[in-house]
Amino acid sequence: MEYTHLGRTGLSVSRLCLGTMNFGPVTEVEDSHNIMDRAHEHGVNFFDTANVYGWGENRGRTESIIGNWFSRGDGRRERTVLATKLYGDMGEWPNSGKLSALNIRRACEASLQRLQTDYIDIYQMHHVDRDTPWDEIWEGFETLRAQGKILYAGSSNFAGWHIAKAQEAAKRRNYYGLVAEQSLYNLAARTVELEVLPAAMDYGLGVIPWSPLQGGLLGGILRKQDRNRSSSGRAEDTLNANRAAVEAYEAFCDELGEEPANVALAWLLHQPAVTAPIVGPRTLEQLDGALRALDIQLDDKALARLDEIWPGPGGTAPEAYAW
């Protein structure tokens, strides 16, 4: 396994991050535990979850599955860099979501109980809260850190200017601020290259791409359809609009002799801002397969061909759309 520092921190994390959103809704408890054990066998030490995972009436179930796995001992918690998130509503009453000081306190306590741990390595804001001042947000995070309940703060789905506002507010308070940003980023969704990635790099944030396969669009979707397997989710919504690109992409992967999913992950690993793409396996086989991406080296010619098939926004702002 390859490791790298998370942004400007001294924290070492694996180049792939284990996403756990399927644990509970799709993957049963024992299978979820087996996937986490296999991740450790491969050297994957970076796990990501969120308090809302499990969804609906089962919100929190995914964290509980991870907590039950930690409770098995044998160094599972100690070997894991654990990231979870808050923001989404966990109940029907006011103050059960978002980033008020009250919810930051309550959400953290609840996640710690479900996760059966006394601290969270990276506590991430799942979305920007436009109604809560940054001084209030950072005071809530500072209190948790002083209590030893969190170590680092992270964001998810932030715009570049949200990152800037957060970091400048943290600087005024002499607080470390954000160390990571989770964004939708893959070959077919490259909007973050305009301003989010430059902001993250300038402020020293590690970038953790979610949906690296665009919900399956980049995972060999045409091959699966040929095997009478239907597409679903994000891939189903975008396949028709991107069919020509998908056909060219899968043909190029054939030339490389690699699976499309692994090429998509490898491409992200070649982007300078990226710390670790999030892979969300439903099975052990999917996790084992994702590790192949770490061994794929894409030369300049291959990267240029991928840019032709999946053109980005043209670079960073403002040059991408001005001069």
Give 210-221 pLDDT, tens digit per residue. Answer: 999 999 999 999
**What's the number of domains the chain is made of?**
1
Mean pLDDT, the chain, whole residue set: 95
pTM summary value? 0.94
Q: Is residue 76 part of a domain?
A: yes
pLDDT at 192: 98
Q: Long-range contacts for 314-318 (Cβ within 8 Å, ≥24 apart)? A: 315/193, 316/193, 316/194, 316/195, 316/197, 316/198, 317/160, 317/194, 317/195, 317/198
Q: Is residue 322 part of a domain?
A: no
pLDDT at 36: 98
CA neighbours closer than 13 Å in the CB half-sphere of residue 93: 3
Q: Is residue 323 part of a domain?
A: no
pLDDT at 223: 83
CATH number at residue 199: 3.20.20.100
170-202 pLDDT tens trace:
999 999 999 999 999 999 999 999 999 999 999
Q: Is residue 139 part of a domain?
A: yes
pLDDT at 238: 81
pLDDT at 112: 98
CA torsion 226-232-238-239 (nearest 10°) is 0
Q: How confident is the model at residue 157 (pLDDT cuts 50, 70, 90)?
A: very high
- Average pLDDT (60-77) is 98
Q: Is residue 40 part of a domain?
A: yes
Q: Is residue 319 part of a domain?
A: no
- Residue numbers annotated as active site: 53
- Average pLDDT (82-90) is 97
Domain holding 25, by residue range, is 3-309
pLDDT at 227: 60
pLDDT at 60 over 90: yes
pLDDT at 125 over 70: yes
Q: Is residue 106 part of a domain?
A: yes
